[in-house]
Structure 1
Amino acid sequence: MKIRWNHRYVQLGVTAFLVIAASILFYYGIFHMKSLITGIKTFFGIMAPIIYGAAIAYLLTPIVNFLERKIIFPIFEKKRNKALQKKGRKVVRWICVILSVFLMFLVIYALVMMILPQLIRSIMNIIYSFPHYVSVVENWLNSVVEKGWKLNPDMISQINQYSSRLQEYLTNTILPQMQFMMKNISASFLDLLVFLKNFLIGAIVSLYILADKEGFVAKAKMAVYAVLPTKWATFLVHSMRFTHKTFGGFISGKILDSAIIGVLCYVGTSIIGTPYAILVSVIVGVTNVIPFFGPYLGAVPCFLLILLVDPIQSLYFLIFILILQQFDGNILGPKILGESTGLSSFMVIVAIMVGGGLFGVPGMIVGVPVFAVLNAAVWKLIGRSLDEKDMSADAEFYRDIDCVDPVSGKVLPMPVKKSVSKAQEVTVKAEKNRIWSGAWDEIKRMFTFLVKFIQAKYIGFRLKQKNRRRRRKNRL
């Protein structure tokens, strides 16, 4: 029996089934949210190598395209004096893909080899310098005692009380948590191993994605046009192209900007003689990928690390890094990125906070381009809605209007403020001055009373100390 999908009762039955199924899913999602979140996390954990592979392939696509179009293809075509066939292009593609992945691992290896020795050296220096810091504190305490600074009995009792509390805190709180801390360290080590495993599998997956990236794009278009109406499919294709342009331009531009900042930081720190110049430059360059907050996140630990070695150099580094970030924010960044996001400073901060709160550091990096795409999509829908209503899509048009008459559809201008005479202005100004002068007099009275109160308390405290000293002398 053939089902007639155009029949009215069949359509009603399918609609009712879909509504009931959606209601059941909504009920399950509301009252079993933990199970749903656990299932989503499990799914993403299984798909992590595929997600990593897609992300690696997306980041390496500009490198593969550059190697193909600018280096490998011209070399082969010059030797053969003709265009490559399909098999030759496939071989060239695999060569470019393998070279780009090899270049990625080479960069990762170089960064690790630059950071790891410097990090180990800095930790060892801190460990070796710790007795020196202890001796400095000990000498300072001895000098305090030698100068004859006497502490009050109340102060001595408070010190004894706080020391006993500190001992109880260490015994009852810190020591029981050591086992929990060791569990967290072992769990973090296992998470690192899982990440490395997923990353390696993702690198292998990225080889196949890059080798046939045009095929994946063609199949995705075919699926979109098969499922959606032609109008909405075309809209989705254009939206994805805009997303790729915004997202890819921002990520590649930010990586280039961070690399330049890292090199400039190394040159500058080497000139001023900053300790751990390579480590500091790598940290500043890597954290610079995070928009807005990244430079400060990288500068703070570097400043503290240099402060432990040489306080004067830490001040020089702080001044240098402020100048470098001003150069990046006002000159280098706009030259490389331009207005690629189209977001205001407020929206950039919101994007970073939301992305970081949801997905951590990766969310802080990706949040700005994602918000840029969503912002462009929303304003495109707003513009289309305004065009349907025969209204302007320019924001400046709405600055000088009051509202639109719902009956006639005419634009009503802003109401004109009534002019105020000079006499009224003088009266209002005099009234404001009177109010402010009265408030200032009250503030001065409160401040004077507070000063007198503190003086009285201090004098009373000094008299009590003198009386205590007299009583001790009389007892002796």
Structure 2
Amino acid sequence: MKYKIDNNYFKYSFYAFLAVAMSILFYLALNNLGYFLKSFSVALGITSKILSPFIIGGSIAYLISPGVIWFEKKVYSKVKLINSRAKLHRLISVLTMYIILLSCIALLIIFVAPQVGNNLRDIIMRVPDYFTTTDQLLSKWTMELENFTQMEISPHIDAKMTSIFLKITEILEDILDNLVFSIVTFTSGVLNFVLGLILSFYMLMDRESFKKSFEKLLRVFLKDTSVERVKSFAREVNDLFVKFIVGKSLDSFIIACICFVGLNLIGIRYALLLSVIVGVTNMIPYFGPFIGAVPATIITFFDSPLSALWLMIFILALQQFDGLILGPKILGDSVGVSPFWIIFSIVVGGKLFGVLGMFLGVPVIGMVRLVVNRAIDRALERKKARLEKEETAVP
């Protein structure tokens, strides 16, 4: 008598074994997640240091490419002397954007950076006075609280404030000790930026050749229909990133200028420095205004508590203007993601990659939304085609 193998039993046993094995592997992966993330971050840091000129060059080329395309198609293509030479269009457009970029950097270095530096130096020199003022205020409030509650809390507050002041002193000493290292790092950053500018020039000049090479590589591994879908998806992602980055940069620049004018009218000290802080942090949706308002209010509070109150009211009104009027006019619905997912992307991006992750989290979640919507649309199309085929097959 032959033994008959039950195929269903064998199949279910295999599935059970696979489920248990995957559960064990998942548990081991979670247990060693810290090690993997640390190794990945170290490898990523080394790679980014080696490729930093290329990363900077690619970023510069990507950011100024919309301007290059606009000058090339809207301006120089209509000039009769050069309208028959496409390469000359590209060269003059790239050089025009470089002149604009370098002029903006020069204006920042000449007019903005010295004043911001003077404001920072003045704040650092006033730090001991800030400590004294804070200590006096706390002593006054402590005495009033003790008289009201009849409790001895001043020793605890004095001990806490002493530890805080010692910690701040240690931080300032570390900054001074690492000054040489900071100068070397800054010099290396400047050299990488200059090399990145040179690389970005060639990237912009050979933009079409890069696109064609990438398309050929895709056609080696994918079907023609899949390649067209990838190209369409890449165009949508590019439009999303360009609209968000350019629009948010313009929006933050306008907010910084309005903030500078308003703070000067109110009579706030360090108006330029505080406007730069507000403008830079405004690049982060939702949380940016609050992040920028906190240091601005603290700095102003030591100078004048009443001025700090006016500063908070002004920044609150300015952010309402940005959120309700200016932002929608410039950005519109450039990302098309609900506020919940925007906040989710900012929190997760900030935890993983810091400030850069908070800024880029929004367009990244927009890209994920595009991927999910495309997948859902294709699944619905396949389901519709299957149902139509089944209906036609029924006699």
Tell me the distance in 2 between the aligned counterparts of 1:153 and 1:330: 49
Structure 1 range deviating more: 196-205 or 56-65: 196-205
Give the share of equivalent positions with the same residue, in percent.
33
Matched with 1:50 is 54
> Who is 2:116 aligned against?
118
Alpha-carbon deviations, 1:399-425, whole Å to 9, x = none?
xxxxxxxxxxxxxxxxxxxxxxxxxxx
- For 2:97 and 2:263, locate their aligned partners in 1 and report how far apart those are by CA, in whole Å: 31
CA shift for structure 1 position 183:
6.1
**Structure 1 residues 327-366: aligned runs within 5 Å:** 327-366=321-360
Q: How does 1:305-320 map to 2 (within 5 A)?
A: 305-320=299-314
1:100 aligns with 2:61: no
Asked if structure 1 preserves the Cα contact closer than 8 Å seen for 2:57 and 2:196, the reply is: yes
Distance 1:100 1:135, change over 3 A: closer
Does 2:70 correspond to 1:66?
A: yes
| Matches of 1:300 and 1:162, distance apart in 2 | 23
Which letter maps to 1:111?
L
In 2, distance between residues paired with 1:387 and 1:182?
A: 63
Of the three residues 293, 296, 305, the one matched with 2:290 is: 296
- Asked if 1 retains the 8 angstrom alpha-carbon contact of 2:293 and 2:315, the reply is yes
Counterpart AA for 2:122: M
Deviation string for 1:243-263 (max 9, x for gaps)? 111111111111111122122
Residue 453 (structure 1) aligns with: none
Structure 2 counterpart of 1:68, which letter? E
Q: Return the TM-score normalized by structure 1.
A: 0.63
Residue aligned with 2:216, SS: helix
Question: Do residues 202 (structure 1) and 200 (structure 2) align?
Answer: no
Post-superposition offset of 1:111: 3.0
8 A Cα contact 1:115 1:282, kept in partner: no
Please name the residue that 2:18 is paired with. Answer: none
Work out whether 1:229 is the aligned partner of 2:223.
yes
Which deviates further from its counterpart, 377-386 or 114-123? 114-123
Q: Cα distance, 1:215 vs. partner?
A: 2.0
Task: Mark the CA change 1:380 to 1:275 in structure 2 (over 3 Å): closer, same or farther.
Answer: same
- Contact 2:133–2:302 under 8 Å retained in 1: no
Contact 2:282 2:288 survives alignment (8 Å): yes
Structure 2 counterpart of 1:261, which letter? Answer: I
**How far apart are residue 168 of structure 1 and its match?**
9.3
The alpha-carbon distance between structure 1 residues 124 and 153, as it changes in their structure 2 partners (threshold 3 A), is: same
> Structure 2 counterpart of 1:124, which letter?
D
Equivalent in the alignment of 2:393: none
In the alignment, structure 1 residue 282 sits paired with structure 2 residue 280: no
Cα distance in structure 1, aligned partners of 2:360 and 2:137: 51
Distance 1:43 1:128, change over 3 A: closer
Contact residue 48 and residue 198 of structure 1 kept, 8 A = yes
Alpha-carbon separation, structure 2, partners of 1:151 and 1:241: 67
Cα separation, 1, equivalents of 2:243 and 2:163: 56
Larger Rg: 1
Unaligned runs of 5+ in 1: 1-25, 392-476
Query: Which residue is 1:414 aligned to?
Result: none
- Structure 2 residue 341 is matched with structure 1 residue 375: no
Per the TM alignment, residue 270 of structure 1 is displaced from its structure 2 partner at its CA by: 2.8
Match of 2:213 in 1: 219
Distance 1:139 1:336 in 2: 44
Deviation at 1:92, TM superposition (A): 3.6
Offset, 1:310? 2.7
Determine if contact 2:219/2:227 at 8 Å carries over to the other structure. yes
Aligned residues: 352
Deviations 1:308-357, CA, capped at 9 Å, x for gaps: 22322222221111111111111211121111111100000011112122
State the secondary structure of the residue aligned to 2:283.
coil
The amino acid across from 1:255 in the alignment is S
Structure 2 counterpart of 1:347, one-letter code: W
Output aligned runs, 1:399-438, within 5 Å.
Answer: none
The structural deviation recorded for 1:373 is: 0.9
1:137 and 1:210 map into 2 onto residues whose CA distance is: 57
The residue number in structure 1 matching 2:10 is none
Which of 111-120 and 201-210 deviates more?
Answer: 111-120
Instruction: Report 1:71-82 matches (<5 A).
Output: 71-74=75-78, 76-77=79-80, 80=81
* Counterpart amino acid of residue 188 in structure 2: V
User: Does structure 1 retain, via aligned residues, the 8 Å contact 2:115–2:272?
Assistant: no
Secondary structure class of the residue paired with 1:348: helix
